Structure 1
Amino acid sequence: CMLLDVSNTGAKLEVEGTLDVLQAKEFFLVLSSTGLAYRRCELVWIDGTTAGVHFVTADGKKKPAAAKAAAAQSAT
């Protein structure tokens, strides 16, 4: 698949071929060739060969963008 857009809370993907692999409710998206950058994802929508996903936190809940931004700002 190709990463078309990414934010703190999710991503937009274009998948070549069938989207059957995305039919799982949750899956991992590997963002680097070394496998060191990855996100747990929840499928939100599919439109043709394009799909939208939300990133899921370790506790299984979607993290709001405002909370994530505040946490990042307080870490600096």
Structure 2
Amino acid sequence: MVRHFITDLDLTAEEQAEVIDLAIAMKKDRKAYAQALEGLVLGMIFEKSSTRTRVSFEAGMIQLGGQAIFLHSDSSQ
């Protein structure tokens, strides 16, 4: 079942701790997670221009073996 993570209130305290623990593990051993998102594509559409956010997401996807696509909201139908 798909769950959407919008705010920290969408996770239990235990789930929040698991996310933090995983983030720490991933940061300590980047090579172990270098292909964690292989074969996956992140599509991004922002209502407002946000270069730092876009580049951060693109870099994260690449570092984890995935790909990112950015579409401008004003050029989408």
Shorter chain as denominator, the TM-score bin is under 0.3
TM-score after normalising by structure 2? 0.24
Which has more helix, going by share of residues? 2
**TM-score calculated relative to the size of structure 1:** 0.24
Flag the structure with higher strand content.
1
Larger radius of gyration: 2
